[in-house]
Amino acid sequence: MKMYAIVDIAGQQFKVEKGKRIFVHRLDEEEGNNVDFDKVLLIDNEGKVLIGGPHIEGAFIEGRILEHIKGDKVIVFKKKRRKGFRVKKGHRQQYSQLEIISINEKGYVKKADDTKAAKKETAAAKTGAKKETTAEKKPAAKRPAEKASTSKEKATGKAATEKKTTAAKKTTASKTKTTVAKKPADTKATTEKKAAAKKTAAAKKPASGGKTGTTKTAGGKTTPAKKTAAKKTTPAKPKTADKTKGDAGKKAGKK
């Protein structure tokens, strides 16, 4: 029996043997470079089976990238009936051809982890230096005193605002009371003044003798006065010259 392993490469699981060639999703490596895969799920070495949980620690598979190629064209057609919607697209998936060089049960050293640890150390050193600089710039002793003073100022400001609001409410209440108390007296004085003015106006008006005018009623409205019937005097008509001559002739005959 040949030695084989099951490996996870770029999200897919493959059964791998030494010297076997497989196609995987395109890898970010140049052609001819060697690549190690540490996500080994199972190794069968001539009947001796090692199963990972989920991966076997220290096991890795070494491979070489032969070439990067494109797969066959796949046509993607979409349609919605009675809508006039049709889309036709083509797609060619990119693959990398690998050749398996060896299957190793132990001895894998993670290079990526070392680089990550170095990056973390540098980041921690930078953050520590920043914290030290900020601590040197800002004195820690002054902070509580400043907070206490600000809290006192806030309390005094709140008390002053409360006093102002209560004083304003009292003044508004007193003003409303005085206005309510003054209203009846004012109304009585105004009614008395109106009655006196009406009486004086009635006393001053002369009696209407044939002329038309206006008279005020109790409600203050003006109504036209009744017209008095005045006798018209008709002027005497002058006698004509003929009548005067006839009268003179009559008088002369009588004589």
User: What's residue 160's pLDDT?
Assistant: 74
Instruction: Kindly report whether the peptide bond that precedes residue 206 is cis, defined as omega within 30 degrees of 0.
Output: no
Separation of alpha carbons 14 and 7, rounded Å: 5
User: What's residue 125's pLDDT?
Assistant: 79
User: What's residue 194's pLDDT?
Assistant: 78
0.85 exceeded by pTM = no
Q: What residue type is assigned to position 5 of the chain? A: A
Separation of alpha carbons 108 and 61, rounded Å: 9
CA distances from 184 to 11, 95, 116, 133 (A): 95, 102, 91, 78
User: What's residue 211's pLDDT?
Assistant: 47
- Show pLDDT as tens, one digit a residue, over the chain (255 residues): 689 999 999 999 999 999 999 999 999 999 999 999 999 999 998 888 989 889 998 899 999 999 999 999 999 999 999 999 999 999 999 999 999 999 998 867 766 555 566 667 777 777 777 766 666 666 555 555 455 555 666 666 777 777 777 777 777 766 666 555 455 555 666 777 778 877 777 666 654 444 445 555 555 555 555 555 555 556 655 555 555 555 655 665 654
Can you count the helices (H) and strands (E) in the chain?
A: 3, 10
Q: What residue type is assigned to position 172 of the chain? A: T
What number of other Cβ atoms are within 10 A of residue 102's Cβ?
12
Separation of alpha carbons 15 and 5, rounded Å: 6
User: What's residue 105's pLDDT?
Assistant: 86
What number of other Cβ atoms are within 10 A of residue 173's Cβ?
9
Q: Which residues of 228-248 are buried (b: 16+ CB within 10 A; e: fewer)?
A: eeeeeeeeeeeeeeeeeeeee
